[in-house]
Amino acid sequence: MKTRVYLLLMGLICFSQSGHSQQDSLPFEQEFWQHYVRPLVDGERSQLDTLVHFPLAGDWGHIMKLEKQPDDWNKEDFYSNYTRLYNTRIKEIILKKGHDQVQIYDWEDGPQEVVYSISWHDYGFESQILLRYRKIDHRWMLTNIQGAG
């Protein structure tokens, strides 16, 4: 009788632990958003240094209204004008949309590119910013910021 109770208890413990660990794992999109998109809202330079790859491609300098040629845009321009791109409105959109805007591309041997889409309407026009991430040295990095609209 003691053996049956022991086996029953061990079975319940193992079942509850395996069920718990499955609940702890998050879908790729949600985990990606938490680790690579959400930190953009906080804007802490130490975190951004690990997330943003330079030279950063795309339209980010135009969005920040830099008065330089694209070839002259640099890391310091990005950080000193950060709030022009990641203003309160953009941060609110990121927080509201969450991981729903994470799009995965080229999923053969795992994701090759991830795009996060930020879109809004102004005066009847739709605007959009696309954040493009690629793996660099086995780590996801923001490599391109594109504007549309």
Which of the two residues, 7 and 132, has the higher pLDDT score? Answer: 132
pLDDT tens per residue across span 102-130: 998 876 776 789 999 999 988 888 999 99
Question: Among 73, 59, 70, 89, which residue's Cα sits nearest to residue 149?
Answer: 59
Q: Report the predicted TM-score, pTM, of the whole model to 2 decimal places.
A: 0.78
Q: Which whole number is the average pLDDT over 138-149?
A: 93
Q: Domain residue spans in the chain? A: 26-148
Provide the β-strand partners of residue 105: 113
CATH number of the 26-148 domain: 3.10.450
The string of DSSP letters for 27-69 reads PHHHHHIIIIIHHHHHT-HHHHHHHEEEEEEESHHHHTT-SS-
Output the six-digit token pair for 56.
């950063």
pLDDT tens per residue across span 33-86: 999 999 999 999 999 999 999 999 999 999 999 999 999 999 999 999 999 999
91 Cβ contact partners less than 8 Å away, ≥ 6 residues apart: 40, 41
The answer, yes or no, to whether residue 23 has pLDDT greater than 60, is no
